[in-house]
Amino acid sequence: MPRIKRSYGKEGFSVMPHVRIFIGGLPKWFWVVAVILLVFLLGIIDYETGDYSIIVFYMIPVVLATWFTGARFGIAVAVISGFVRLYADYETYTVFSSANYVNVAEDALFLLIIAGLTAILRKMLKRNKTVLPDTAGKMNQQG
């Protein structure tokens, strides 16, 4: 394991670079297990509370899955979250009408859009990370 270089700024010791290195170094299987467990935990909470506004919290595993493992797994987590949400809603309501199915489909579509946007953002940031150092060097030479 590489030795972490200490960074001291104007404010003193900074923890964030170390946290980023630690989180970025976790294996993909960790994220797969953690995200799936988080989705099922949210499903249990969703079932117990019956609250509709919990859909916002389903974004967390979708974003984590997309960011750390890739777009395919993020889309899979969005679909799994949609099914978990469908099951929680189906078991919560006594009368499950077609409007409930439409709501669950909208939730799943929302999560799929979040997965897609996260994948695009990750790709753009990776591309800019490789482009910006060259640009900064050229600007320093000109100035």
In angstroms, rounded to a whole number, what is the distance separating the alpha carbons of residues 42 and 107? 14
- 137 in any annotated domain: no
Mean pLDDT, rounded, of the chain:
83
- 81 in any annotated domain: yes
- 136 in any annotated domain: no
Q: Which domain holds residue 77?
A: 27-130
Q: What pLDDT was estimated at residue 84?
A: 94
Residues 6+ apart with CB under 8 A from 86: 101, 104, 108
- 2 in any annotated domain: no
- 22 in any annotated domain: no
Number of domains, the chain: 1
In angstroms, rounded to a whole number, what is the distance separating the alpha carbons of residues 82 and 84? 5
Q: For the chain, what percentages of helix, strand and coil (3-state, to nearest 5) are there?
A: 80, 5, 15
- 85 in any annotated domain: yes
pLDDT digits (tens, 9 = 90+) for 29-70: 999 999 999 999 999 999 998 777 788 999 999 999 999 999
- 114 in any annotated domain: yes
Q: Which one, of 88, 80, 84, lies nearest residue 50 by Cα?
A: 88
- 140 in any annotated domain: no
Average pLDDT over every residue of 100-105: 88
